[in-house]
Amino acid sequence: MRATALRERLEAVVGRDGVFSDPSDLLLYQYDASDEAIAGINRPDVVVLPRTAEQVAAIVRIAREAGVPVTPRGAGTGLAGGALAARGGIMIVLTRMTRVVEINQDDRYAIVEPGVINLDLSQTTKPLGYFFAPDPSSQRSCTIGGNIANNSGGPHCLKYGVTSNHILGLEVVLPSGEVIWTGGAAPEAPGIDLTGVLVGSEGTLGIVTKAMVRLTRNPEAVNVLVSAFPEIEAASHAVSAIIAAGVLPAALEMMDALTIRAVEAAYHAGYPEDAGAVLLVEIDGLAEAVAESSDMIVTICRQHGASDVRVATTAEERALLWQGRKAAFGAMGRLAPNYYLQDTVVPRTKLPATLRRVEEISRDYKLQIANVFHAGDGNLHPLILFDRYRLGDIERVLNAGTEMLHWSVNAGGAISGEHGIGLEKRDHIALIFTPDDLAAMAGLKLSFDPLQYFNPEKVFPAGFSCGEIAALKQQALLDKPGMHVA
Amino acid sequence: MSPELAASLMNVESRTGGVPRRDVEAYRVDGLAPSLALAPASMDQVRDVLAAAAETGAAVVPWGGGTQMCFGNLPEAYDIALDLRGLNDIVEYEPDDLTVAVQAGCTLAELNRRLGEYGEMLPVDATDPERATIGGLVASGFSGPRRLGYGSFRDLIIGITAVLPGGLVAKAGGMVVKNVTGFDMMRLYHGSLGSLAVIVQVNFKVLPRPRAERTIVAHYPALEPAFDAAMTVRRSQLLPTAITLLNAGAADRADIGGSAWTLILRCEAPPVAVVRLATRISDAISTQALALDVLEESGSEQIWTRINQALAAEPVEREIRVRLGSAPSEIPAALNAITSVASEHGLHVSLTVDCGSGLLYGRLAAESDEVEPLRRAWSALASLARHATLLAAPSAVKQGTDVFGPEPAGFAVMRSLKDQFDPNRVLNRGRFVGRL
């Protein structure tokens, strides 16, 4: 189909103000929050902003007929290039679908459209006594649809779990063009858990047009503790001790000296500036249990050499401490013109060794690395600082990032804790998964999207379609002595 | 047996010569016995059996402890029982990481004993933890009342390894508690009743055992005050880990007895907090209660063992077991509906309701061997609530019905998944939703 004909058909669905194809209009959509050096420039041919599920379905059917790929996108805050149009085609931007359709307090759910901003939902429900638990650092701008695509985490998923644990059902447009509801207010619906496999599938299996999300009751009491440690190793031992003591905080976050200095310079959040590491611990729940657990955590921190343990008693103090943590990435501008944010995860007991390795990598590659991360669940976020205009910096940054992935895999971890695979890590996925593993995942993809036109080039290694992965595997099996494939 | 089938079974037999045999009589499903019962001792043997079955067209039913084998549609064919209890190792356990990797054939009780040595647990309810295997629990996808406090079973799974019928051994997830590397195959296999692949290993995040527990048992003369009490707690900021409501029949089966409706709430917390929690909950629900007891520690644990045991799926004679899914606020309507269906068909009814999730478990029992009242009761129940599942029933009742109710939304995708993962319909042929 010619470009103008495609544009006209799309305009007939969403109106003229919902279709963009001028190069200047497309500029914004050829980037997300990932680094251009990794994801490259991926320009969609046309961007469409629908307002309803019916419009999304109509766009999908047009794309299917025209044989062009479809890439869904929310606020574009993704760090792995998941929302980039890697093969051009139609980009469906869901930021005009922003209605909170229903809030049901008795049954503790809300039905929202995918363009609703994460923080807006919690701010809407908080006065009613409920919140939406996933809280990625980008929660002021990221959308619920994007959270679902990436199975987003956030500091509070230590206790409350990742996005997947909070999605009860989905209205989704399938690659077939069909619109279905999966799951619902009653759990254990008969059949395969399509809701569960759609969450975290990075928009490769379907496009969510409504989500039924779990609302969690506001806790009765909340405490935030800030402990200053002389160095990061002591702080990470304290983390292991807290987990091993049987206390499950709502959040357990760590910042190293470099991060503390940047955050203090930018926001004056109130962290002890001379500390080697700061541990931010939030405990919530029943008033009596919070008090009991807080005492235990203070004791553990002191035993591990914390010099200064403070408890934030007011909501304002708590908010300030959290703001420092959530805006830490932004504060990096104080230290260097650019940073590359890595996202890896290791078993919690491997944290001290992993942090030592990050330090070595920093020395070896002559790059400053700041650490700010979800210590409670072993999810690291080393920020590699650099200057894009300094010759050779980018290559060293990428190599340093890859070394961290290798380390994490060898330590029994994984190559992404919460940012996703997207374009960024598709070629690294083979560090974790064998062709067998990938063939089964390809089977899942092909069951939803046999034409492979939904968010192509993502998750799976470059240069292989899912069909090819499955075929390669069949061949490998045939070659294996004693193995037969039906 | 047709000559073709006999030949293909001989083929399977010859190709799986090293795999230990079992007596087929112990592996009946809905009254049918298989022609061959194999108990592989390794993942490689599982792969050999499945590869041979895929090639010859034999129908395989995977087995764990057998506690849920009455769940599922009548098998369309049943040639080989695949008993996975030989794969029962705890593969990797690092207590300080709060993670464990365990083979599918390990029982829940065995796993929890090991975790208990380090003060940890997998907070999953099962009717018979000494028999129920991890693989069976994950495949059948049941999640008991403690999901309110600890999340549903699927939320505890962080990794999985499965053998596909063609012989692929495929893993997903890993040994970390937060992981978005690749697709979430854990949720694909969980609850798919072994219809896509045979689960051979599951990795879990585990939790510290609560340092103290209490259970509140409150008796009520009628449904309304009992349900109001449950909702009062649910709406509050008090955090029990389970809220279960039993009618007189179910309370009797769990050896509790005493009133028309019994509300049972579990509190698990640090020692000082648990006492306060139990007191605050008791105060909130006592006004309309006939009587109220608080059980401590082992008494608390035991009552839940009995409640879970009373939900046991077997034996199935003269009765059906159903599960209705409602939103929690719709529970009274569902209870009234099931009670009237039971009395209309002259059936005794035991009802256990998980007020945290809205799942309702009903056991409808006839006084005679007549199957017609049971059959009619199920067809009335199948369209009640948001969804209904026939968990167990005599074969004569299962005949001609789908125990999963009408085809769910997205069934076309489920069919594609079956075609992709198990094109020769080797696994649990006809037993899963829509007779896949």
Give the pLDDT score at B383: 86
How many C-beta atoms lie closer than 10 Å to residue B372's C-beta? 12
Q: pLDDT below 70 — which residues of chain A? A: 1, 464-486
Of residues A103 and B311, more confidence is placed in A103
- Whether residues A486 and B55 touch (CB distance < 8 A) is answered with yes
**B-chain residues near A293 (CB < 8 A):** 270
The β-bridge partners of A280 are A226, A253
Give the pLDDT score at A463: 73
**Both ends of chain A: CA-CA distance in Å?**
40
Q: Supply the mean pLDDT for chain B.
A: 95
**A-chain residues near B270 (CB < 8 A):** 289, 292-293
**A-chain residues near B211 (CB < 8 A):** 246
The residues, any chain, with a CB within 8 Å of residue B287's CB and separated by 6 or more, are: none
Rounded to a whole number of angstroms, the distance from the CA of B252 to the nearest CA of chain A is: 27
| Mean pLDDT score, B296-321 | 90
Rounded to a whole number of angstroms, the distance from the CA of A252 to the nearest CA of chain B is: 14
Give the pLDDT score at B52: 92
- Whether residues B387 and A153 touch (CB distance < 8 A) is answered with no
- Whether residues B325 and A186 touch (CB distance < 8 A) is answered with yes
User: In angstroms, how far is CA A415 from the centroid of its own chain?
Assistant: 12
Rounded to a whole number of angstroms, the distance from the CA of A81 to the nearest CA of chain B is: 14
Rounded to a whole number of angstroms, the distance from the CA of A344 to the nearest CA of chain B is: 9
Largest Cα–Cα distance of chain B, in whole Å?
71
ipTM exceeds 0.90, yes or no: yes
Rounded to a whole number of angstroms, the distance from the CA of A7 to the nearest CA of chain B is: 30
User: pLDDT by residue (tens digit) across B105-147?
Assistant: 999 999 999 999 999 999 999 999 999 999 999 999 988 999 9
The residues, any chain, with a CB within 8 Å of residue B3's CB and separated by 6 or more, are: none
Among the partner residues B97, B239, B424, nearest to A285 by beta-carbon distance: B239
User: pLDDT by residue (tens digit) across B265-282?
Assistant: 999 998 889 999 999 999
Q: What is the C-alpha separation between B433 and B408, in angstroms, rounded?
A: 8
Q: Is the pLDDT of residue B376 over 80?
A: yes
Q: What is the C-alpha separation between B90 and A328, in angstroms, rounded?
A: 41
Of residues B434 and A325, more confidence is placed in B434
How many C-beta atoms lie closer than 10 Å to residue A392's C-beta? 9
Tokens (6 digits) for A8: 């006209």
Give the pLDDT score at B143: 87
The β-bridge partners of A104 are A109
- Whether residues B51 and A483 touch (CB distance < 8 A) is answered with yes
**B-chain residues near A218 (CB < 8 A):** 237
**A-chain residues near B55 (CB < 8 A):** 484-486
Q: What is the C-alpha separation between B187 and A188, in angstroms, rounded?
A: 12
The β-bridge partners of B390 are B322
User: pLDDT by residue (tens digit) across B70-99?
Assistant: 999 999 999 999 999 999 999 999 999 999
Q: Using CB atoms and an 8 Å cut-off, which of residues 70-129 of chain B contact chain A?
A: 94-99, 119
> In which region does residue B400 sit, left (phi positive, over 0), alpha (psi from -120 to 50) or beta (all else)?
left
Mutation target among B43, B158, B181, B415 for the A interface, most CBs of A within 10 A: B181
Given CB atoms, is B284 within the 8 Å cutoff of chain A? Answer: no
Give the pLDDT score at A329: 87
Among the partner residues A107, A419, A484, nearest to B328 by beta-carbon distance: A107
- Whether residues A484 and B141 touch (CB distance < 8 A) is answered with no
- Whether residues A187 and B359 touch (CB distance < 8 A) is answered with yes
Given CB atoms, is B327 within the 8 Å cutoff of chain A? Answer: yes
Give the pLDDT score at A486: 27
Given CB atoms, is B192 within the 8 Å cutoff of chain A? Answer: yes
Q: What is the C-alpha separation between A145 and A238, in angstroms, rounded?
A: 36
Question: What's the number of CA atoms in the CB half-sphere (13 Å) around residue A183?
Answer: 27
For chain B, what's the residue count? 436
Give the pLDDT score at A476: 46
The residues, any chain, with a CB within 8 Å of residue A262's CB and separated by 6 or more, are: A328, A331, A332, A334, A335, A370
- Whether residues B168 and A439 touch (CB distance < 8 A) is answered with yes
- Comparing alpha-carbon positions, the chain B residue that sits nearest to A147 is B180
Give the pLDDT score at A207: 98
- Whether residues B409 and A197 touch (CB distance < 8 A) is answered with no
- Whether residues A437 and B182 touch (CB distance < 8 A) is answered with yes
Among the partner residues A182, A197, A248, nearest to B183 by beta-carbon distance: A197
User: pLDDT by residue (tens digit) across B218-241?
Assistant: 999 999 999 999 999 999 999 999
> Taking Cα atoms as reference points, which of B142, B128, B134 lies closest to residue B160?
B134
- How many residue contacts between A and B have a Cβ separation below 8 Å? 298
**B-chain residues near A345 (CB < 8 A):** 176, 178-179
C-alpha pair distances (Å), B419 with each of A98, A321, B199, B413, B427: 37, 52, 18, 10, 12
Q: What is the pTM of this model?
A: 0.96
Decide: A151 and A133 in contact? Cβ < 8 Å.
no
User: pLDDT by residue (tens digit) across A286-322?
Assistant: 998 999 899 999 999 999 999 889 988 788 889 888 8
- SS in 3 state form for chain B? CCHHHHHHHHHHHHHCCCCCEECHHHHCECCECCCEEECCCCHHHHHHHHHHHHHHCCCEEEECCCCCCCCCCCCCCCCEEEECCCCCCEEEEEHHHCEEEEECCCEHHHHHHHHHCCCEECCCCCCCCCCCEHHHHHHHCCCCCCHHHHCCHHHHEEEEEEECCCCCEEEEECCCCCCCCCCCHHHHHCCCCCCCCEEEEEEEECEECCCEEEEEEEEECCHHHHHHHHHHHHHCCCCCCEEEEEEHHHHHHCCCCCCCEEEEEEEEECHHHHHHHHHHHHHHHCCCCCEEEEEEHHHHHHHHHHHHHCCCCCCCCCEEEEEEECCHHHHHHHHHHHHHHHHHCCCEEEEEEECCCCEEEEEEECCCCCCHHHHHHHHHHCCCCCEEEEEECCHHHHCCCCCCCCCCCCHHHHHHHHHHHCCCCCECCCCCHHHC
Give the pLDDT score at B292: 97
Give the pLDDT score at A466: 66
Rounded to a whole number of angstroms, the distance from the CA of A106 to the nearest CA of chain B is: 6
